[in-house]
């Protein structure tokens, strides 16, 4: 299936990429972008992060694709992300690209950055341990694609356990193993990307799952610790 289409008509395919910190999200996007560029597919990337990121410079200088970043600073990174999703999609259309990768901050496992009708990739690495899939929540369970990185650094038994747990949590996801250093394993994923439909002009975007509940006193800047300083949506431990 060819992606040689006219971006000015709104034929932009948006792909969200989420996962744990240092799992290889940026590396996976970079390898996919380089491969897609060889197929005459125009690609851009948006990086969302909390405090500091130089990934936009890396995308522009090393991968040679348009890229911007958004830093949430004192705001929850995933709330910041979803509040700016329309703006970055509009930017992608202005850049007249075929594919826009949106990389999320990867900080809160409870956050759910995946959007209905937008393809979602979850990246996790085998070094996180065999129990990591169980801790990832909607980032993993609601993804369309799960990419496992750093598989060359663990035993075959550990890889099989991780794959089994991923299948238990998200049996419908397509599963790929990609080497973040070499890009090995990206080609089959690009074939799947070619089948994904563009976003068109729809503005009826919804999250696949709710964001973490808020607001408590600490969300609004409280620093003092103690029951008397806690208000809003507060959940207490049971024992």
pLDDT tens per residue, range 197-224: 998 765 688 888 887 766 778 777 888 9
Residue 117's domain comprises 7-210
For residue 145, being part of any structural domain is answered with yes
Question: Which pLDDT belongs to residue 202?
Answer: 59
Q: Which residues of 199-225 are buried (b: 16+ CB within 10 A; e: fewer)?
A: beeeeeeebbbebeeeeeebbeeeeee
For residue 106, being part of any structural domain is answered with yes
For residue 199, being part of any structural domain is answered with yes
For residue 219, being part of any structural domain is answered with no
**pLDDT above 80 for 61:** yes
Lowest mean pLDDT segment, chosen from 1-5, 57-61, 173-177: 1-5
Question: Which pLDDT belongs to residue 227?
Answer: 85
Mean pLDDT of 46-69: 94
- pTM for this prediction: 0.88
- Residue percentage of the chain with pLDDT more than 70: 90
**pLDDT above 80 for 6:** no
Mean pLDDT of 105-113: 67
For residue 129, being part of any structural domain is answered with yes
CATH number of the domain encompassing residue 86: 3.40.50.300
For residue 215, being part of any structural domain is answered with no
For residue 43, being part of any structural domain is answered with yes
Residue 133 has φ and ψ, to the nearest 5°, of -60, -35
For residue 206, being part of any structural domain is answered with yes
Count the domains in the chain: 1
């Amino acid at each position: 299936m060819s992606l040689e289409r006219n971006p000015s008509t709104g034929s932009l395919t948006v792909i969200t990429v989420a996962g744990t910190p240092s799992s290889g999200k940026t590396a996976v996007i970079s390898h996919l972008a380089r491969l897609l560029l060889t197929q005459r597919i125009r690609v851009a990337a948006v990086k969302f992060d909390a405090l500091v990121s130089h990934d936009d410079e890396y995308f522009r200088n090393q991968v040679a694709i348009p890229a911007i970043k958004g830093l949430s600073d004192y705001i929850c990174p995933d709330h910041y992300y979803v509040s700016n999703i329309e703006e970055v999609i509009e930017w992608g259309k202005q850049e007249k690209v075929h594919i826009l990768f949106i990389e999320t901050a990867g900080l809160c496992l409870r956050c759910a950055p995946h959007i209905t009708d937008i393809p979602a990739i979850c990246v996790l690495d085998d070094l996180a341990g065999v129990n990591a899939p169980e801790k990832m929540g909607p980032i993993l369970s609601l993804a369309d694609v799960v990419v496992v990185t750093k598989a060359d650094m663990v035993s075959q038994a550990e890889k099989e356990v991780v794959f089994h747990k991923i299948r238990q949590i998200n049996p419908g996801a397509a599963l790929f193993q990609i080497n973040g250093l070499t890009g090995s394993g990206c080609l089959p994923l690009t074939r799947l990307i070619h089948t994904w439909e563009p976003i068109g002009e729809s503005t009826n975007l919804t999250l696949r799952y709710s964001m973490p509940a808020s607001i408590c006193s600490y969300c609004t800047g409280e620093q003092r610790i103690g029951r008397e300083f806690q208000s809003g949506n507060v959940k207490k431990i049971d024992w």
